[in-house]
Amino acid sequence: MNIIKKDVITSTNDYIKDNYETLENYTVVTANYQTKGKGRISRTWESKPCENIIFSMLINDFKNRTDLNLLSLVASVSVHKLLRKYLKNIFIKWPNDILVDNKKICGILLEGKSNKKSSMIVIGIGINVNQITFSNEIDSLTTSLKKELNLHFDIDNLVLELRNQLINDIEEFLNNNNSFIDYIRDNLFGRNQLISYTKDNKEYEGIILDINNDGKLIIKKEEEILYINSGEIKIKR
Protein backbone atom coordinates (compact mmCIF):
# COMPACT_ATOMS: atom_id res chain seq x y z
CA MET A 1 0.00 0.00 0.00
CA ASN A 2 2.32 2.67 -1.32
CA ILE A 3 1.93 6.42 -0.95
CA ILE A 4 3.47 8.35 -3.83
CA LYS A 5 3.87 12.04 -3.08
CA LYS A 6 4.41 14.55 -5.87
CA ASP A 7 5.24 18.23 -5.59
CA VAL A 8 3.48 19.47 -8.74
CA ILE A 9 1.39 17.26 -11.00
CA THR A 10 -1.31 17.76 -13.60
CA SER A 11 -3.76 15.51 -11.73
CA THR A 12 -3.33 12.71 -9.21
CA ASN A 13 -6.23 10.88 -10.86
CA ASP A 14 -4.51 11.13 -14.23
CA TYR A 15 -1.23 9.85 -12.80
CA ILE A 16 -2.94 6.70 -11.58
CA LYS A 17 -4.86 6.23 -14.83
CA ASP A 18 -1.61 6.51 -16.78
CA ASN A 19 0.34 4.13 -14.54
CA TYR A 20 -2.18 1.76 -12.95
CA GLU A 21 -0.80 -1.37 -14.63
CA THR A 22 2.44 -0.99 -12.66
CA LEU A 23 0.87 0.04 -9.34
CA GLU A 24 -0.41 -2.22 -6.57
CA ASN A 25 -3.95 -2.18 -5.24
CA TYR A 26 -4.67 0.70 -2.83
CA THR A 27 -1.72 2.78 -4.05
CA VAL A 28 -2.26 6.41 -3.02
CA VAL A 29 -0.96 9.41 -4.95
CA THR A 30 -0.90 12.85 -3.32
CA ALA A 31 0.43 16.20 -4.47
CA ASN A 32 1.20 19.64 -3.12
CA TYR A 33 -0.37 21.19 -6.20
CA GLN A 34 -2.31 20.17 -9.30
CA THR A 35 -2.20 22.19 -12.49
CA LYS A 36 -5.33 20.52 -13.88
CA GLY A 37 -7.29 19.44 -10.83
CA LYS A 38 -10.74 18.13 -11.73
CA GLY A 39 -14.12 18.15 -10.08
CA ARG A 40 -17.34 16.50 -11.16
CA ILE A 41 -19.05 17.39 -14.45
CA SER A 42 -15.84 18.77 -16.03
CA ARG A 43 -15.35 21.43 -13.34
CA THR A 44 -11.93 22.42 -12.03
CA TRP A 45 -10.91 21.83 -8.40
CA GLU A 46 -9.43 24.90 -6.74
CA SER A 47 -6.59 24.31 -4.28
CA LYS A 48 -3.66 26.49 -3.25
CA PRO A 49 -0.20 24.84 -3.09
CA CYS A 50 0.61 22.84 0.05
CA GLU A 51 -2.60 23.81 1.85
CA ASN A 52 -5.04 20.97 1.18
CA ILE A 53 -5.39 17.24 0.68
CA ILE A 54 -5.09 16.27 -2.99
CA PHE A 55 -5.49 12.51 -2.95
CA SER A 56 -6.17 9.63 -5.32
CA MET A 57 -6.41 5.92 -4.54
CA LEU A 58 -6.23 3.02 -6.99
CA ILE A 59 -8.70 0.14 -6.71
CA ASN A 60 -7.94 -2.77 -9.04
CA ASP A 61 -9.14 -5.77 -7.03
CA PHE A 62 -12.93 -5.76 -6.94
CA LYS A 63 -13.39 -9.29 -5.59
CA ASN A 64 -16.89 -10.30 -6.73
CA ARG A 65 -18.56 -6.92 -6.40
CA THR A 66 -20.14 -5.52 -9.58
CA ASP A 67 -22.05 -2.41 -8.38
CA LEU A 68 -18.84 -0.38 -8.30
CA ASN A 69 -20.63 2.93 -8.88
CA LEU A 70 -21.42 2.77 -5.16
CA LEU A 71 -17.74 3.30 -4.35
CA SER A 72 -18.33 7.06 -4.54
CA LEU A 73 -20.82 6.76 -1.68
CA VAL A 74 -18.43 4.54 0.27
CA ALA A 75 -15.71 7.16 -0.16
CA SER A 76 -18.02 9.91 1.06
CA VAL A 77 -18.65 7.88 4.22
CA SER A 78 -14.90 7.46 4.78
CA VAL A 79 -14.27 11.19 4.46
CA HIS A 80 -17.20 11.99 6.74
CA LYS A 81 -15.84 9.61 9.40
CA LEU A 82 -12.46 11.35 9.20
CA LEU A 83 -13.78 14.90 9.39
CA ARG A 84 -16.37 14.30 12.10
CA LYS A 85 -13.45 13.78 14.50
CA TYR A 86 -12.82 17.51 14.17
CA LEU A 87 -16.05 19.14 13.03
CA LYS A 88 -19.71 19.30 13.97
CA ASN A 89 -22.68 19.88 11.66
CA ILE A 90 -21.04 17.86 8.91
CA PHE A 91 -23.18 16.20 6.24
CA ILE A 92 -22.95 14.05 3.13
CA LYS A 93 -24.44 15.86 0.15
CA TRP A 94 -25.50 13.11 -2.23
CA PRO A 95 -23.77 11.68 -4.11
CA ASN A 96 -20.29 12.57 -2.92
CA ASP A 97 -19.68 16.02 -1.48
CA ILE A 98 -19.09 16.76 2.19
CA LEU A 99 -20.58 19.90 3.69
CA VAL A 100 -20.10 21.74 6.97
CA ASP A 101 -23.53 23.24 7.57
CA ASN A 102 -24.11 24.15 3.91
CA LYS A 103 -20.52 24.92 2.87
CA LYS A 104 -18.45 22.50 0.83
CA ILE A 105 -15.28 21.13 2.40
CA CYS A 106 -14.67 18.07 0.21
CA GLY A 107 -15.37 16.78 -3.28
CA ILE A 108 -14.94 13.26 -4.63
CA LEU A 109 -14.45 12.15 -8.24
CA LEU A 110 -14.43 8.53 -9.43
CA GLU A 111 -12.93 7.58 -12.79
CA GLY A 112 -12.34 4.21 -14.40
CA LYS A 113 -10.18 2.66 -17.07
CA SER A 114 -9.78 -0.79 -18.53
CA ASN A 115 -8.02 -2.75 -21.25
CA LYS A 116 -8.04 -6.38 -22.36
CA LYS A 117 -5.93 -7.47 -19.38
CA SER A 118 -7.15 -5.40 -16.45
CA SER A 119 -9.49 -2.72 -15.14
CA MET A 120 -9.33 -0.12 -12.41
CA ILE A 121 -11.16 2.62 -10.56
CA VAL A 122 -9.46 5.66 -9.11
CA ILE A 123 -11.05 7.55 -6.23
CA GLY A 124 -10.02 11.20 -6.29
CA ILE A 125 -10.60 13.23 -3.12
CA GLY A 126 -9.98 16.90 -2.44
CA ILE A 127 -10.34 18.14 1.14
CA ASN A 128 -9.90 21.79 2.09
CA VAL A 129 -7.57 21.79 5.08
CA ASN A 130 -5.47 24.92 5.67
CA GLN A 131 -6.74 27.17 2.87
CA ILE A 132 -8.87 30.02 4.21
CA THR A 133 -9.51 32.16 1.12
CA PHE A 134 -11.04 31.01 -2.16
CA SER A 135 -12.03 32.68 -5.41
CA ASN A 136 -14.95 35.10 -5.24
CA GLU A 137 -17.23 32.70 -7.12
CA ILE A 138 -17.05 30.00 -4.46
CA ASP A 139 -15.79 31.68 -1.28
CA SER A 140 -19.20 31.99 0.37
CA LEU A 141 -20.01 28.33 -0.46
CA THR A 142 -16.69 26.84 0.63
CA THR A 143 -14.96 26.13 3.92
CA SER A 144 -11.95 24.28 5.34
CA LEU A 145 -10.76 22.78 8.59
CA LYS A 146 -8.70 25.87 9.37
CA LYS A 147 -11.51 28.21 8.37
CA GLU A 148 -13.86 26.44 10.77
CA LEU A 149 -11.49 25.85 13.70
CA ASN A 150 -8.73 28.45 13.28
CA LEU A 151 -6.19 25.65 13.66
CA HIS A 152 -3.37 24.50 11.37
CA PHE A 153 -3.43 20.80 10.45
CA ASP A 154 -0.67 18.39 9.45
CA ILE A 155 -1.72 17.27 5.98
CA ASP A 156 0.51 14.17 5.91
CA ASN A 157 -1.09 12.84 9.10
CA LEU A 158 -4.57 13.43 7.70
CA VAL A 159 -3.61 11.60 4.50
CA LEU A 160 -2.61 8.55 6.53
CA GLU A 161 -5.88 8.66 8.48
CA LEU A 162 -7.85 8.98 5.26
CA ARG A 163 -6.00 6.12 3.56
CA ASN A 164 -6.60 3.77 6.48
CA GLN A 165 -10.27 4.69 6.77
CA LEU A 166 -10.84 4.24 3.04
CA ILE A 167 -9.17 0.84 2.94
CA ASN A 168 -11.26 -0.35 5.88
CA ASP A 169 -14.55 0.86 4.40
CA ILE A 170 -13.79 -0.33 0.87
CA GLU A 171 -12.81 -3.78 2.13
CA GLU A 172 -16.11 -4.02 4.00
CA PHE A 173 -17.98 -2.98 0.85
CA LEU A 174 -16.12 -5.48 -1.35
CA ASN A 175 -17.03 -8.18 1.17
CA ASN A 176 -20.71 -7.32 0.66
CA ASN A 177 -21.23 -5.17 3.75
CA ASN A 178 -23.69 -2.40 2.83
CA SER A 179 -23.80 -0.66 6.20
CA PHE A 180 -22.55 2.50 4.48
CA ILE A 181 -26.10 3.08 3.19
CA ASP A 182 -27.46 3.44 6.73
CA TYR A 183 -24.55 5.71 7.61
CA ILE A 184 -25.44 8.02 4.73
CA ARG A 185 -29.09 8.03 5.76
CA ASP A 186 -28.08 9.21 9.21
CA ASN A 187 -25.92 12.02 7.82
CA LEU A 188 -27.71 12.99 4.59
CA PHE A 189 -27.76 16.67 3.77
CA GLY A 190 -31.23 18.09 3.15
CA ARG A 191 -33.19 15.03 4.26
CA ASN A 192 -36.89 15.84 4.76
CA GLN A 193 -36.26 19.38 3.52
CA LEU A 194 -37.52 21.23 0.49
CA ILE A 195 -34.64 21.69 -1.93
CA SER A 196 -34.21 22.95 -5.48
CA TYR A 197 -32.34 20.95 -8.08
CA THR A 198 -31.70 20.90 -11.79
CA LYS A 199 -32.31 18.06 -14.18
CA ASP A 200 -31.93 18.22 -17.96
CA ASN A 201 -31.18 21.94 -17.60
CA LYS A 202 -34.57 22.57 -15.95
CA GLU A 203 -35.08 23.62 -12.35
CA TYR A 204 -37.43 21.83 -9.97
CA GLU A 205 -38.24 21.70 -6.29
CA GLY A 206 -38.73 18.60 -4.20
CA ILE A 207 -38.22 17.03 -0.80
CA ILE A 208 -35.34 14.64 -0.17
CA LEU A 209 -36.86 11.57 1.45
CA ASP A 210 -34.03 9.05 1.62
CA ILE A 211 -31.61 6.98 -0.42
CA ASN A 212 -32.48 3.42 -1.35
CA ASN A 213 -30.31 0.33 -1.06
CA ASP A 214 -29.02 0.87 -4.61
CA GLY A 215 -27.69 4.30 -3.63
CA LYS A 216 -30.34 6.24 -5.54
CA LEU A 217 -31.64 9.48 -4.06
CA ILE A 218 -35.39 9.45 -3.38
CA ILE A 219 -37.11 12.79 -3.98
CA LYS A 220 -40.78 13.66 -3.69
CA LYS A 221 -41.84 16.17 -6.36
CA GLU A 222 -45.43 17.14 -5.75
CA GLU A 223 -47.16 13.73 -5.73
CA GLU A 224 -44.43 11.97 -7.69
CA ILE A 225 -41.63 9.90 -6.16
CA LEU A 226 -38.38 10.06 -8.11
CA TYR A 227 -35.38 7.73 -7.85
CA ILE A 228 -32.33 9.67 -9.00
CA ASN A 229 -29.12 8.11 -10.28
CA SER A 230 -25.74 9.69 -9.61
CA GLY A 231 -24.97 12.40 -12.11
CA GLU A 232 -28.56 13.07 -13.18
CA ILE A 233 -29.10 16.11 -10.98
CA LYS A 234 -27.35 18.81 -9.08
CA ILE A 235 -28.86 19.73 -5.76
CA LYS A 236 -28.56 23.47 -5.24
CA ARG A 237 -27.56 24.87 -1.87
Binned at pLDDT 50, 70 and 90, residue 32 comes out as very high
Say what the pLDDT of residue 202 is: 82
Give the pLDDT of residue 36: 77
For the segment 174-223, what is each residue's pLDDT rounded down to a tens digit? Answer: 999 999 999 999 999 999 998 888 777 788 899 999 999 999 999 999 99
> How buried is residue 200: exposed, middle or buried, by Cβ count under 10 Å (0-12/13-18/19+)?
exposed
Q: Where on the phi/psi map is residue 57: left (φ > 0), alpha (ψ -120 to 50), or beta?
A: beta
Average pLDDT for residues 113-123, to the nearest whole number? Answer: 89
234: closest CA among 98, 101, 95? 95
Residue pLDDT, tens place only, 148-163: 999 999 999 999 999 9
Q: How confident is the model at residue 42 (pLDDT cuts 50, 70, 90)?
A: low
Q: What is the pLDDT of residue 115?
A: 81
Q: Is the pLDDT of residue 99 over 90?
A: yes
pLDDT at residue 2 greater than cutoff 80: yes
**pLDDT-based confidence at 40, cuts 50/70/90?**
low
State how far the Cα of 15 lies from the Cα of 17, in Å rounded to an integer: 6
d(CA 130, CA 48): 9
Report CA dihedral (199, 95, 224, 207) to the nearest 10 degrees: -100
At 115, which amino acid appears? N
Does residue 225 register a pLDDT over 70?
yes
Q: Is 182 helix (H, G, I), strand (E, B) or coil?
A: helix
Confidence at residue 43, expressed as pLDDT on a 0 to 100 scale: 59
User: Long-range contacts of range 93-97, CB-CB < 8 Å, 24 or more positions apart?
Assistant: 93/189, 93/190, 93/235, 93/237, 94/184, 94/188, 94/189, 94/208, 94/211, 94/217, 94/235, 95/215, 95/217, 95/230, 95/231, 96/40, 96/72, 96/230
Single pTM value for the model: 0.93
pLDDT over 70 (residue 228):
yes
> What pLDDT does 234 receive?
75
| Lowest-pLDDT choice from 42-56, 99-113, 144-158 | 42-56
| Share above pLDDT 90 across residues of the chain, in percent, rounded to a whole number | 77
Q: Are 65 and 124 in contact (CB under 8 A)?
A: no
Whole-number Cα distances in Å, 199 to 67, 109, 122, 229, 236: 24, 20, 26, 11, 11
Q: What is the pLDDT of residue 117?
A: 82
What was the pLDDT predicted at 134? 93
What stretch of H or E contains 208?
A: strand 202-211
pLDDT for 114 equals 85
In the chain, the percentage of residues whose pLDDT exceeds 70 is 94
- CB neighbour list of residue 81: distance below 8 Å, 6 or more residues apart: 165, 169
